């Protein structure tokens, strides 16, 4: 499961996910990708499930890039605990996704295979996505 080896602070504020992605919104490595169309928190488990689905369908041909990494600690209080008494214990890590963010990129496979592989990977994510192709992509 994806998580940082070390963090500077154990607990972080929730924050707000407003507006569109200012960075990570262009294809940088591959010719194909899936782009988020709404905001959500992606956990390491969800990212790993999507990665496995994509690599299985591509039969380990080509190459994929995961463009997100969960480094924001999320805390949770135990069940039936009264209000107050401080912030809960860290439970896991998430990545806040905003609309326009590229989540996974792929390269080295035909368009149809990449499209189906990324569709299967997108099914594992809690966010609606769109399949995108590099503007200068030419089918061989």
Q: Name the strands in the sheet holding 40-43, side by side, starting at the edge strand that comes first in the sequence.
A: 40-43, 89-97, 72-76
Q: CA–CA separation, 8 vs 12, rounded Å?
A: 10
pLDDT at 140 over 80: no
**Better-predicted residue by pLDDT, 1 or 86:** 86
Answer whether residue 53 shows pLDDT above 70.
yes
Closest among 108, 109, 102, 138 to 28, alpha carbons compared:
102
Q: What is the pLDDT of residues 120-136, one digit of tens each?
A: 999 999 999 999 999 99
Specify burial of residue 127 (Cβ count, 10 A radius: 0-12, 13-18, 19+): buried
Query: What does the pLDDT look like over 60-83, one tens digit per residue?
Result: 899 999 999 999 999 999 999 999
Instruction: Print the SS3 string covering 24-93.
Output: CCCCCCCCEEEEECCCEEEEHHHHHHHHHHHHHHCCCCCEEEECCCCCEEEEECCCCCCCCCCCCEEEEE
**Average pLDDT along the chain:** 94
Task: Give domain 42-77+87-133's CATH superfamily.
Answer: Ribosomal protein L16/L10 (3.90.1170.10)
For the cut 90, the answer to whether the pLDDT of residue 1 exceeds it is no
- What does the pLDDT read at residue 114? 95
pTM of the complete model? 0.91
Residue 18 has pLDDT above 80, yes or no: yes
The C-alpha torsion from 107 through 112 and 113 to 116, rounded to 10°, is: 110
């Amino acid at each position: 499961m994806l998580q940082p080896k070390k963090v500077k602070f154990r607990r972080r504020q929730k924050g707000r996910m407003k507006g569109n992605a200012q960075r990570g919104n262009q294809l940088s490595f591959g010719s194909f990708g899936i782009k988020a169309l709404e905001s959500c928190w992606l956990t390491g488990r969800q990212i790993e499930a999507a990665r496995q689905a994509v690599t299985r369908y591509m039969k380990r041909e080509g190459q994929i890039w995961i463009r997100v990494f969960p480094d924001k600690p999320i805390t949770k209080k135990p069940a039936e605990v009264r209000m107050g008494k401080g912030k809960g214990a860290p439970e896991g890590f998430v990545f806040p996704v905003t609309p326009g963010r590229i989540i996974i990129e792929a390269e080295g496979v035909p368009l149809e295979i990449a499209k189906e592989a990324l569709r299967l990977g997108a099914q594992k994510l809690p966010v609606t996505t769109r399949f995108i192709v590099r503007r200068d992509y030419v089918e061989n």
